[in-house]
Amino acid sequence: MNRLLIVFLTLLVSSVFAHTNLGEQASSIKASGKVFHESISIIRKIHPEFLRHKRDKTLRQGVRTDEYSLKGCVSCHVNKDKTNNQYYSVDKKGQFCSDCHEQVSVSLDCFSCHRTIPKEGSL
Amino acid sequence: MNKTLNRRDFIKTTSATTIGVATVASGITLTTFASTNKVPVTNEKRWGMLIDTNKLTEAGIDGMVSACQEEQGWGSELHSTGSQKPGWIKKLKVKDKATGKVSNLALMCQHCEEPPCVDVCPTNASMKREDGIVLVDKHLCIGCRYCMMACPYDARSFVHEALRNQKEHMPRGKGTVESCTMCVHKVDKGEVPACVASVNSDAVIFGDLYDASSKINQTLRTVQSAQIRADLNLNTGVRYSGI
Ligand code: SF4
Ligand code: SF4
């Protein structure tokens, strides 16, 4: 039974990530062979912790480094619509964030306040 | 952004006082402009503003309001009705009952040293940074609006509608409270707030109240200035001269 469960979970997790839409910049970093996230499994599992830690440091203490900044996630993992040269929101269906979050039914609350595309003028 | 004084009486209750100057003068002197981005801010600084109501024209105040809207992205809400509309900074007319003198005030969050909004917040969302800037941590804000009721300056707004396309540096969202951040994202980079930058004179001075070599500190030592509702003893970071 346990073995079956493991097989099932592995299938589930790998199927979640199987068609992940990495985003333009992230895809080209990956293609170039450079390593951005030291461990993919860690960033997959605990990115909410990283973001939470970072948000407290930034908002409450004024520490404004790039590491684990949500702006950074968005600008690297966003995709552009080639037809009109506009960005897709990262929380839009089929885009980087919602791809997994929808699959596993975990609601995504960052973007009720945060901007979903890189800052204006960066196109 | 015109607002009348119907809800709370804004008439200054103290005559021009030197208390603010005394408090400021006892602060710590800081000589360097350290790059604060990587280390937590400390209470060795206290950011503040001095608004000269004689020099600041009505048009100047309007310019400050639009600069704030442009910088922070508020004011173009489509579905919020009049009183629901956010107002981070307002133009306010105050009249001295005795002399009839009318002054125009640019009124925003006063960044109180003893902020009532922080006292009443049930979730610790309303908070004051070490350097005196008062903010809402929207991650924690439940939208109860206690802070709006507690603020004597009516400085806070509630976001009534879902928003998109916010500024990258200024997350804003339905169901949370917001107010002037003293452009903390700029201040942390060593820049001045957008409203201050929009005024092309020294009618509005921004700086570290504690730094004896700063323009704001030096001006506060030489001119008479006042805090609005100084009787509340909140020790505001925003000061006014000429009222
Ligand atoms: S002016 Fe109002 S919102 Fe600002 S710190 Fe004081 S009580 Fe809080
Ligand atoms: S509205 Fe938000 S910030 Fe204001 S008191 Fe309630 S939880 Fe705190």
Tens-digit pLDDT profile for residues A70-109: 999 999 999 999 999 999 999 999 999 999 999 999 999 9
What is the token pair recorded at B11?
């008439």
In Å, how far from its chain's centre is CA B16? 20
Q: What is the pLDDT of residues B158-217, one digit of tens each?
A: 999 999 999 999 999 999 999 999 999 999 999 999 999 999 899 999 999 999 999 999
Closest residue of B to A109, CA-based?
B139
Instruction: Name residues 115-154 of chain B within 8 A of A (Cβ).
Output: 127, 129-131, 135, 137-139
Q: How far is the CA of B115 from the centre of ligand 2 (A)?
A: 13
d(CA B96, CA B77): 35
Neighbouring CB atoms inside 10 A of B143's CB total 16
Query: Does residue A18 have a pLDDT over 80?
Result: no
DSSP of B62-126 = HHHHHHHHHHH--S--SS--GGGS--SEEEEEEE-TTT--EEEEEEE----SS-HHHHH-SSS-E
Q: Please, where are the H alpha helices in A36-77?
A: 40-61, 70-77
Q: Kindly state the tokens that stand for B60.
A: 């100047």
Residue A21's pLDDT band, with cuts at 50, 70 and 90, is confident
pLDDT of residue A66 exceeding 90, the answer is no
Residues of B in contact with A119 (CB under 8 A): 167-169
Domain ranges of chain B: 7-37, 47-241
Under the banding of pLDDT at 50, 70 and 90, the label for residue B122 is very high
Distance CA B2, CA A109 (A): 35
Structural tokens at position A20: 């992940």
- Is domain B47-241 classified as CATH 3.40.640.10? no
Q: What is the pLDDT of residue B96?
A: 87
Using CA atoms, how far apart are residues A110 and A67, in angstroms rounded to an integer?
17
- Among B111, B121, B136, name the best residue to mutate to test ligand 1's pocket (greatest count of ligand atoms within 8 A of Cβ): B111
CA distance B218 to B209: 9
* Residue in chain A nearest B129 by alpha carbon: A60
Quote the ipTM score.
0.82
Contacts of B168 in chain A (CB under 8 A): 71, 115, 118-120
Show the CA angle centred on residue B75, arms to residues B163 and A76, nearest 5°: 45
Residue B153 Cα to ligand 1 midpoint, Å, equals 7
B174 CB within 8 Å of a chain A CB: yes
- For strand B126-128 and strand A86-87, is the pairing parallel, antiparallel, or unpaired? unpaired
The answer to whether the CB atoms of B167 and A115 lie below 8 A apart is: yes
- The position carrying tokens 């802070």 is B147
CB pairs under 8 A between A and B: 60
Mutate which: B139, B182, B183, vs A, most A CBs within 10 A: B139
Spatial contact of B198 and B63, defined as CB atoms under 8 Å apart: yes
Q: How far is the CA of B47 from the centre of ligand 1 (A)?
A: 14
Q: Which of A13-17, A73-77, A87-91, B224-228 has the lowest mean pLDDT?
A: A13-17
Q: Where are the domains of chain A?
A: 18-112
User: What would the pLDDT profile of A25-35 be if each residue is shown by its tens digit?
Assistant: 999 999 999 98
Name which residue leads in pLDDT, A53 or A13.
A53
Residue A101 exposed, middle or buried by CB count within 10 Å (0-12, 13-18, 19+) = middle
- Which residue has tokens 């994202």? B185
- Using a CB-CB cut-off of 8 Å, the residues of chain A touching B41 are 61-62
For B149-168, letters b (16+ CB in 10 Å) and e give ebbbbbbbbbbbeebeebbb
Tokens read off for A24: 């333009």
Question: Are residues A61 and B130, on separate chains, in Cβ contact within 8 Å?
Answer: yes
Given a cut of 90, is residue B69 above it in pLDDT?
yes
The answer, yes or no, to whether residue B11 has pLDDT greater than 50, is no
What are the C-alpha distances in Å from A78 to residues A24, A75, A91, B175?
6, 6, 9, 26
User: B143 C-alpha vs ligand 2 centroid, how far in Å?
Assistant: 5
CA nearest to B91, candidates B107, B76, B102: B107
What are the pLDDT digits (tens) for B90-114? 999 988 899 998 889 999 999 999 9
